[in-house]
Protein backbone atom coordinates (compact mmCIF):
# COMPACT_ATOMS: atom_id res chain seq x y z
CA UNK A 1 0.00 0.00 0.00
CA UNK A 2 1.31 3.48 -0.91
CA UNK A 3 1.78 6.06 1.75
CA UNK A 4 0.47 9.54 1.24
CA UNK A 5 3.11 12.24 0.79
CA UNK A 6 2.20 15.11 3.14
CA UNK A 7 4.50 17.50 1.29
CA UNK A 8 2.18 17.49 -1.77
CA UNK A 9 -0.96 18.24 0.18
CA UNK A 10 -2.85 21.26 -1.24
CA UNK A 11 -1.04 21.34 -4.58
CA UNK A 12 -4.32 21.02 -6.50
CA UNK A 13 -5.68 24.12 -4.74
CA UNK A 14 -2.58 26.10 -5.69
CA UNK A 15 -2.80 24.99 -9.33
CA UNK A 16 -6.47 25.92 -9.43
CA UNK A 17 -5.74 29.35 -7.93
CA UNK A 18 -3.10 29.95 -10.58
CA UNK A 19 -5.33 28.88 -13.48
CA UNK A 20 -8.57 30.51 -12.32
CA UNK A 21 -7.79 34.05 -13.62
CA UNK A 22 -6.85 32.66 -17.04
CA UNK A 23 -10.05 30.61 -17.23
CA UNK A 24 -12.22 33.57 -16.16
CA UNK A 25 -10.51 35.82 -18.74
CA UNK A 26 -11.14 33.29 -21.50
CA UNK A 27 -14.81 32.99 -20.55
CA UNK A 28 -15.24 36.78 -20.48
CA UNK A 29 -13.56 37.09 -23.89
CA UNK A 30 -15.85 34.41 -25.27
CA UNK A 31 -18.95 36.18 -23.96
CA UNK A 32 -17.78 39.59 -25.23
CA UNK A 33 -16.88 38.19 -28.64
CA UNK A 34 -20.26 36.53 -29.03
CA UNK A 35 -22.00 39.75 -27.97
CA UNK A 36 -20.00 41.71 -30.56
CA UNK A 37 -20.88 39.19 -33.27
CA UNK A 38 -24.56 39.40 -32.31
CA UNK A 39 -24.45 43.20 -32.47
CA UNK A 40 -22.81 43.22 -35.90
CA UNK A 41 -25.28 40.64 -37.20
CA UNK A 42 -28.17 42.82 -36.01
CA UNK A 43 -26.62 45.84 -37.78
CA UNK A 44 -26.36 43.90 -41.04
CA UNK A 45 -29.98 42.80 -40.75
CA UNK A 46 -31.10 46.38 -40.00
CA UNK A 47 -29.25 47.75 -43.04
CA UNK A 48 -30.84 45.08 -45.26
CA UNK A 49 -34.31 45.82 -43.92
CA UNK A 50 -33.72 49.55 -44.42
CA UNK A 51 -32.67 49.06 -48.03
CA UNK A 52 -35.67 46.80 -48.69
CA UNK A 53 -37.93 49.42 -47.13
CA UNK A 54 -36.60 52.13 -49.47
CA UNK A 55 -37.02 49.83 -52.48
CA UNK A 56 -40.63 49.05 -51.51
CA UNK A 57 -41.77 52.47 -50.24
CA UNK A 58 -39.63 54.89 -52.23
CA UNK A 59 -37.38 57.72 -51.09
CA UNK A 60 -39.92 59.01 -48.55
CA UNK A 61 -39.57 55.86 -46.42
CA UNK A 62 -38.80 56.26 -42.72
CA UNK A 63 -35.60 54.23 -42.68
CA UNK A 64 -34.33 55.67 -39.39
CA UNK A 65 -37.52 54.60 -37.61
CA UNK A 66 -37.34 51.11 -39.10
CA UNK A 67 -33.68 50.70 -38.16
CA UNK A 68 -34.38 51.93 -34.62
CA UNK A 69 -37.23 49.40 -34.33
CA UNK A 70 -35.09 46.52 -35.59
CA UNK A 71 -32.27 47.50 -33.23
CA UNK A 72 -34.45 48.26 -30.21
CA UNK A 73 -32.17 46.30 -27.87
CA UNK A 74 -29.18 48.54 -28.68
CA UNK A 75 -28.50 51.98 -27.22
CA UNK A 76 -30.01 54.52 -29.61
CA UNK A 77 -27.43 57.18 -28.67
CA UNK A 78 -24.64 55.27 -30.45
CA UNK A 79 -26.74 54.43 -33.51
CA UNK A 80 -26.73 56.36 -36.79
CA UNK A 81 -28.31 55.67 -40.17
CA UNK A 82 -27.36 57.12 -43.56
CA UNK A 83 -29.38 56.63 -46.75
CA UNK A 84 -27.73 57.44 -50.09
CA UNK A 85 -29.44 57.23 -53.46
CA UNK A 86 -27.27 56.99 -56.58
CA UNK A 87 -29.31 58.19 -59.55
CA UNK A 88 -26.63 57.24 -62.09
CA UNK A 89 -26.39 53.60 -60.99
CA UNK A 90 -30.06 53.60 -59.87
CA UNK A 91 -29.23 52.11 -56.46
CA UNK A 92 -29.91 52.89 -52.83
CA UNK A 93 -27.32 52.38 -50.07
CA UNK A 94 -28.24 52.17 -46.41
CA UNK A 95 -25.37 52.44 -43.93
CA UNK A 96 -25.96 51.72 -40.25
CA UNK A 97 -23.21 52.44 -37.72
CA UNK A 98 -23.10 51.78 -34.00
CA UNK A 99 -20.58 52.75 -31.32
CA UNK A 100 -20.08 49.41 -29.56
CA UNK A 101 -19.97 49.45 -25.79
CA UNK A 102 -17.83 46.72 -24.34
CA UNK A 103 -18.48 45.02 -21.02
CA UNK A 104 -17.67 47.40 -18.19
CA UNK A 105 -17.24 50.46 -20.43
CA UNK A 106 -18.91 53.84 -20.22
CA UNK A 107 -20.78 55.39 -23.13
CA UNK A 108 -18.35 56.47 -25.85
CA UNK A 109 -15.32 54.91 -24.17
CA UNK A 110 -13.60 51.58 -24.45
CA UNK A 111 -13.03 49.37 -21.40
CA UNK A 112 -9.70 51.07 -20.66
CA UNK A 113 -11.24 54.55 -20.41
CA UNK A 114 -10.04 55.78 -23.82
CA UNK A 115 -12.42 57.82 -25.96
CA UNK A 116 -11.98 55.49 -28.95
CA UNK A 117 -14.72 52.90 -28.60
CA UNK A 118 -15.02 50.56 -31.60
CA UNK A 119 -17.61 51.47 -34.22
CA UNK A 120 -19.37 48.75 -36.21
CA UNK A 121 -20.58 49.68 -39.70
CA UNK A 122 -22.94 47.64 -41.89
CA UNK A 123 -23.83 48.73 -45.42
CA UNK A 124 -26.32 47.34 -47.94
CA UNK A 125 -26.75 48.44 -51.56
CA UNK A 126 -29.80 47.43 -53.59
CA UNK A 127 -30.99 48.35 -57.10
CA UNK A 128 -34.02 50.58 -57.36
CA UNK A 129 -36.94 49.43 -59.54
In this prediction, residues 37-45 reach a mean pLDDT of 96
Residue 110, Cβ density class (10 Å: 0-12 exposed, 13-18 middle, ≥19 buried): middle
CA distance 39 to 32: 10
Residue 36 lies in a domain: yes
Number of structural domains the chain divides into: 1
In this prediction, residues 46-66 reach a mean pLDDT of 93
In this prediction, residues 70-77 reach a mean pLDDT of 91
Residue 49 lies in a domain: yes
Residue 64 lies in a domain: yes
Query: What confidence score (pLDDT) does residue 112 get?
Result: 61
Residue 31 lies in a domain: yes
Other beta carbons within 10 angstroms of residue 115's beta carbon come to 8
Residue 120 lies in a domain: yes
In this prediction, residues 13-33 reach a mean pLDDT of 94
Q: pLDDT confidence of 128, banded at 50, 70, 90?
A: very high
Query: What confidence score (pLDDT) does residue 28 get?
Result: 94
Beta-strand ranges (E) seen in the chain are 79-86, 91-99, 119-127
Q: Give the length of the chain.
A: 129
pLDDT in tens, 76-112: 888 999 999 999 999 999 999 999 888 766 555 555 6
* Domain span at 121: 7-127
Query: What confidence score (pLDDT) does residue 85 get?
Result: 94
Residue 2 lies in a domain: no
Residue 1 lies in a domain: no
Q: pLDDT confidence of 63, banded at 50, 70, 90?
A: very high
Amino acid sequence: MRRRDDRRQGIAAVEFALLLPVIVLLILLLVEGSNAMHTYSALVEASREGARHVVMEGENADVEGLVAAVLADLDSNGLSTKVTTDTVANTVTVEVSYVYQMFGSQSGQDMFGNDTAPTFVAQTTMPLP
